[in-house]
Structure 1
Amino acid sequence: MKDLRRYLVLKYVQYLVLSSTNTISTLLGLLGSLYTLIILQSAKVSSKSTAVLISSLAKADLLVLVGVVSEVAVRTFGVGVSSTTFASALLQNLLTANTHISCLLLSCVAFEAYLITFLPTESRQLRTVRNARLTARIIWVLVTVECALFQADDLLKATGTSAPTRSPCVLLFYFSSSAATLLRSLSYFLGIILRIVNVFFYYKIFFSMSNRSRLKTK
């Protein structure tokens, strides 16, 4: 459990403290996720809702690997410029999806820690493995749709389609472009809100634990 706590601290720093990810933090995150997935296979780790959320958090780094491998493969085999542009956009969108999934899952972990601290009995029926898996699936589905919209928007910009047409495919691309623009704007504000919410949760937990320790020492 100590290793899992260290992993959570690493992820909080990577996604909710640092303004943007960099190569070093991404590499450390990948190594931490690999180590965490190995730990979660151990029989010593009980199957609880927190473990389910942490497992999904670690698996989110697979998106980074997929994006990096795809871009390296495209650049290595020297395919066309359009494929290179597509791979670069895919890498960026997968990195964005990884960030959004991780931030949402970390917020779920913080919320669960808050419930355990202040409402342990009342929230017991809510903090189940089934609900944790359902929550993780919903997050993955929503972010996957977001990633697809971003990729479609990048493809539309790369092709430079500007002539008005009533083709359903082109209209669909324009719709995805508008939706992607809106999502990019909302994701910035959502990131700020998640940071504030996480700080609030751990602020309350920290002072609650501090007060309990003071009462024990008296």
Structure 2
Amino acid sequence: MKDLRRYLVLKYIQYLVLSSRNAASTFLGLLGSTYSLLLLQSAKVSSKSTTVLISSIAKADVLVAVCVVSDLIIWTFDVNVSSTALMSALLRNLLTANTHISCLLLSCIAFEAYLITFFPMESRHVRTVRNAKQTARIIWILVIAECVIFLMEDFLKANSASAFISSHCTWLSHFSGRAADLLRSLSYFLGIFLRIVNVYFYYKIFFSMYSPK
């Protein structure tokens, strides 16, 4: 569990502290996720709601791995991605999905830690493996739906000159554009809210542990 706690600290720094990605944090994140997935297969690690959420965070880094491998292929074979707008948009949306999934799951873990600290008995029926799996599944579905809307917007923008798109899909283009703008605004404010909430949870936990009895 100590290694898993270190992994969570790494992920909190990567997604909720750092303002943007960099090569070092991406590499360490992928390395930590690979190690954590191997560690979670051990019989010494019991199946709890927290480990389910940690496993889902580690699996979300598969999306980053796909982007890294794609970048290596593009760099090695000198592929012109700018001419394939949809491919570029897909890779960008995979990174967005990874970030949003990880931030939401990390916030769920922070909330669970808060419940364990202040309401251990009252929250036992909530902190179950089944609920953790359902929560992770819902988060994945919502974020994938968000990225589908982003990808649809990028696709329609890239093909806006097409006569078919212009005459038959104007309403679809308008809908995807408005929906994408709304989701970006929501994601921005949700990101700020999650940072504040996470700080509050761990602030309360820290002072409850080290305050004089």
Q: Please give the TM-score of this superposition, normalised by the length of structure 2.
A: 0.92
Secondary structure in 2 aligned to 1:61?
helix
Distance (whole Å) between structure 2 residues aligned to residue 80 and residue 197 of structure 1: 39
Structure-2 residue corresponding to 1:154: 154
1:196-211 counterparts in 2 under 5 A? 196-211=196-211
Q: Counterpart in 2 of 1:189?
A: 189
Residue 78 of structure 1, CA deviation: 3.8
Question: What TM-score, normalized by structure 1, do the two folds share?
Answer: 0.90
User: What whole-Å deviation, never above 9, does each CA across 1:47-106 have from its counterpart, x for those lacking one?
Assistant: 0000000000000001112233345445637478542x2222111111111000000000
| Mapped partners of 2:82, 2:21: distance in 1 | 27
Match for residue 55 of structure 2? 55
Matches within 5 A, 1:90-101: 90-101=90-101
Deviation at 1:185, TM superposition (A): 1.2
Matches of 2:81 and 2:62, distance apart in 1: 26
Which residue does the alignment assign to 1:115?
115
Code of the aligned partner of 2:200? F
- Identity of aligned pairs, percent? 69
Whole-angstrom CA distance in 1 between matches of 2:71 and 2:156: 19
CA contact (8 A) 1:74 1:87 kept: no
Corresponding pairs, count: 211
The 1:207–1:162 alpha-carbon spacing in structure 2 relative to 1, beyond 3 Å, is farther
Q: Alpha-carbon deviation of 1:160?
A: 3.1
User: 1:64/1:119 Cα in 2 relative to 1: closer, same or farther (>3 Å)?
Assistant: same
Pairwise mapping of residues 158-169 of structure 1 onto structure 2 (< 5 A)? 158-161=158-161, 165=166, 167=168, 169=169
CA distance in 2, matches of 1:81, 1:111: 42
State the alpha-carbon separation in 2 of the partners of residues 30 and 81 from structure 1.
26
Distance 2:158 2:74 in 1: 17
Structure 2: gaps (5+ residues): none
Partners of 2:160 and 2:166 within 8 A in 1 = no
- 1:4 counterpart = 2:7: no
The equivalences for 1:18-97 within 5 A come to 18-73=18-73, 76=77, 78=79, 82-83=83-84, 85-97=85-97
2:37 and 2:79 mapped to 1: Cα distance? 34
- Cα distance in 1 for partners of 2:185, 2:43 equals 43
Report the secondary structure of 2:121's partner residue. coil
Tell me if structure 1 keeps the 8 A contact 2:81–2:87: no
Q: Which amino acid aligns with 1:139?
A: I
- One-letter code aligned to 1:100: H
Q: Contact 1:156–1:177 at 8 Å: present in 2 too?
A: no
Q: Structure 1 regions of 5+ residues with no counterpart?
A: none
Aligned match of 1:16: 16
